[in-house]
Amino acid sequence: MAQSKSWKARKKDKGPTGKKLLEDIAEKKLTAVWTEEGIWLPLEAEVAKLVERAGFGSRMGKGDAAKEHVQTLLSCDEKETYSWVASVLRIGAEEAFFLAHALQCLVMHRNTMEGETMEIEECWTKFVQEREQYATSYVAYSHFRSKGWLPKSGIQYGSDLVLYRNHPSVAHSEYAVIVLPMSEELGAPAGSKAFTTWNDLQTLSRLSVQVKKGLLVLYVHVEKGTDCSTPSCLEKFSVQELQLSRWSSEKE
């Protein structure tokens, strides 16, 4: 997947540290379970620390209900069968496919740990069918994750993503990101250029200043005529980054 170099971290020596964590995770062998309720990732203690530190997913709640659900996922009549499980995370579709496709360290099963193995192509097809804009969303997530950033939902700030240098428990997000599909194959209107109106841009710019975040726009392109129903389409995507800021005459 081609990547633009128009935007960089503020200082190279203070860049995101997530790349090393991803390299460590890529050496592990992870198994996830896909169900109608979500995607679940059982982990042993040491691996759980690593995956959670990298900011993947959210841990299941505590209590008897959670324990029963875990036992159903693991499909074990005898608790000793999966006694190695120390934590179960619920991960998003973008996170799951990134672990399976980009890091090649995750295998997904259907419904239980003993269920049918889902191939990469099947996972992609399932995610695309469940959400129309999944391809665009995954490309954006993968783009920033591969750079070492930790992308999370930015809905509370009116954006598509927010970017963290470190885990949200120890750092605030530094950027809000608007993801704009620019190709008709991605559902963009013909002749699509940018924001609907300049008022949209001004509103987002003001909001980002108030919450002390930089504002990024990520334009997502795909070659004309590309079939986005298979993961092979990812080779035909490209992105362009644009950092926006307000200009004030008082600062000149």
Active site residues per annotation: 164, 172, 213
Angle between helices 18-26 and 134-146 (to 10 degrees): 110
Half-sphere exposure of 157 (CA within 13 A, CB side): 28
- Which one, of 144, 151, 145, 139, lies nearest residue 180 by Cα? 139
Cβ(51)–Cβ(88) below 8 Å: no
Taking the C-alpha atoms of residue 83 and residue 114, their distance in angstroms, rounded to an integer, is 15
Give the DSSP H/E element, type plus range, for residue 47: helix 45-53
Taking the C-alpha atoms of residue 91 and residue 96, their distance in angstroms, rounded to an integer, is 6
Pairing of strands 214-222, 175-181: parallel
Rg, the chain, Cα only: 20
